[in-house]
Amino acid sequence: MRGVSVFRVLCVDDNRDVAESLVMLLDLVGFDARACFDGPTALAEAAGFRPHAAVLDIHMPLMDGYELARRLRELLGPGVFLMAVTAASDADAERRAAEAGFDLRLTKPADPNQLLAALARVQEALAP
């Protein structure tokens, strides 16, 4: 992928406040971020938005974050950066996140600086 002018991030969480707050934070630092509140809506949005990264909650109704991650990989290819943000912190959650194709897993409440740093590294890797 060639360099990007605006780094696009899809934020998916069934808790609207969490998703919308993350979008506001990402917008403040210069990312183009959009919020979705369930997996099926996120897939539809991703098809047109073509995010460079997605921050996904794991425990959501309709489609969990593991299934959403697998489907986003199918839709967007291996270059999309997938970050899980979940309350689960055990070894099983870590294994399942890796199997689903996540590049990074953060435990809630996620440190905003850690989240932003990870996205900045991905953005830098895509720079011309």
Name the pTM for this structure: 0.92
In a domain, 104, yes or no: no
Q: Where does residue 121 rank: exposed (0-12), middle (13-18), buried (19+ CB within 10 A)?
A: exposed
Res. 2: pLDDT tops 50: no
> Tokens standing for 24?
């506001």
| Amino acid letter for position 122 | V
What is the model's pLDDT at position 92? 86
Q: Which range of residues forms the domain containing residue 49?
A: 1-90
What CATH number has the domain bearing residue 42? 3.40.50.2300
Res. 4: pLDDT tops 70: no
In a domain, 124, yes or no: no
In a domain, 106, yes or no: no
Confidence of residue 38 (pLDDT cuts 50, 70, 90): very high
Of 67, 54, 44, nearest to 12 by C-alpha is 54
Taking only the tens place, the pLDDT of each residue in 57-92 is 999 999 999 999 999 999 999 999 999 998 887 888
What is the total count of domains within the chain? 1
